[in-house]
Structure 1
Amino acid sequence: MQKKLIALAVAGLVSAPAFAQSNVTIYGVVDIGVDHRSGSDTYDSRTALDSGLQSGSRIGFRGVEDLGNGLKASFVLEQSIKADLGEGSGYTRQSFLALSGGFGTVALGRQETPQHRFVDAIDPFGGGTVGQANGVYAKTADRLNNVFAYVTPDFGGFSLTAAYTLNGTADESAITKGQPDTDLEVFALHPVYKNGPLHVGLNYIHTEAEAATGDRESDTWELGAAYDFGAVRLSALYGEIDYDNDANYGDDTRKQWMVGASVPVGSAGKFAVSYVTAEFDDLDREGKQIAVGYFHDLSKRTNLYVAYAKRSDEILFKTSGSGAVDNGTGYEKGFNLGIRHKF
């Protein structure tokens, strides 16, 4: 209640009439810990106090207004925070406006991709720490600009998300007549079924951009599932990315998969483990990662975490990667120890 009153007061300084009938909430995450990396051919081992190791530190505003007849308007504005430096980096996370009702939800703006939400939900590490599957398992993007998204109502656990953007990396550009369109178009389709302990879904993503050297395209297909047996939650992902005239991969197919598990430890702990691998059909590139971690809840909003990951076969990453362990520098080993608080 106190957070809502503060948010309303802040909003009122900008435009009291516009927010008078809205329910606005301030929320966020403060995540900070020790990050150690080693095993690079180029860089010395690194030990640092860093922000956002398990979850990106942020401050956000979300609000909803009941328009009547089952129709609601809502918004989300999220700003990234570097808790170790006391700096913000603008609304680089999510920034969108949505309208929802019996027809489902339509959302416009910068949003998380369906693939990002799905992969992180299946990953035992939840897309955080050095143990995250994204150390090897490539995602198209975590968030995209200029997105038009539609989410169907929930039909007994089944829902479908469709998303499209004319340019997912910047603003839609003015195109000189006779010149190629360099905007990155992305189309995504994501059916998912969630019912009790079962979470299963499909992803299809098509990306396309023109360049002086020709069109660049890629098609991503993936299947993932997780089932919670109580004593253990098992997870698996398999995906293929077909590249066409890509600057790094030419015409090639990347195949990747992950298996993992999370095991409850008492009433407040969770042990996580995963194995991820990826390889190309034609290029001499492959990568593997094994990770272990432990998460312990101190309360509903605060937890401690520790994670270790080791990546091998770095040929995959030296020219094209920036996975969680690698961090774009060739590191093969990573260790995190930290604390996260959500408010």
Structure 2
Amino acid sequence: MTTTLEKPPSAPAKVRAGARTAKRRRTVFYFIAPATLGFLIFFGYPLIATVYYSFTKYDLINPPQWIGFDNYVRMFSSEPLVGTAAYNTLWLVIVLTICRVAFSLGVASVISRLKAGVGLIRTLCYLPALAPPAAATLAFVFLFNPEFGPVNRFLKLIGVDGGLWFNDPSMSKPALTLLVMWGSGELMIIILAALLDVPTELHEAAQLDGAGPIRRFWHITLPSISPVLLFGVVNSIIFALQFFTQAVVAGSAAAGSADVAGNTKYIGAPQNSTLTYPVWLYVQGFRYFNMGYAAAMAVLLFIVSAGFTMILVRQLRKTAHQEEGG
């Protein structure tokens, strides 16, 4: 029995293989260069500049002056409206997240059980998500007008006092929550796709074992779509942390000002109940020209949003690992 030993490649063959590898690497670099350049220009540089300005006193006119952590100390100690803005944002994070996910899940569950007209109903439920936020907010302010709004007129017909809605500090945030729920068609479509992907064999087997609709939904449907629900929760949290346009337009319209970019006294009306954290960041940066302080607020908002994103990634990896039997 003879064995044949393979001859090692010659030096020219090694050189050619190395040249081909280098050429492939250059080709890959050329393809990803535009995306990398755009990332560095539109995300990397602004992020680094924001972090730098957060340690300075900067008014967009004079050169920035280094003041260390003074902006952060001011944010946590001597700025009264930061607490109000943080409370409003925290309220939205909790209530808006629960209502948005629950409403989207409920609508998706109803649509998934329909037998006829599914395409039309699905389209009608998704259409509000296409409405521009400013226009949708103005429409809601009109609908919930305490004097001549259709909502209060309908509630009056059935003997219910509708309230002041956007003109009442205690009802302005619930009204904004209703606005967001109305426009949550994107999340509804995502959850609907997850519901339709649940294996019907599991429901049929559970039904044969005597499980009712509630038990099947709790023990089969929810565990099957838990990654999508987790995505919806974290997505809603980040959305609430960055809640800006609807709050500004609603506060301005409730105060009787058609100029959203007008005087700062109209932002946050009524009584600062719609003054969210991003809105106060905007006021500090582009009304009072405290750009250094606004940069510090932006850095804190970025850290919190990044934290929730990391939680999402870790939970999704954990869920995927469990589904694989790890």
Q: TM-score range by the shorter chain?
A: under 0.3
The structure carrying a bigger strand percent of its residues is: 1
The structure carrying a bigger helix percent of its residues is: 2
Normalising by structure 2, what TM-score?
A: 0.22
Normalising by structure 1, what TM-score?
A: 0.21
Higher relative contact order (CA 8 A, sep 6+): 2
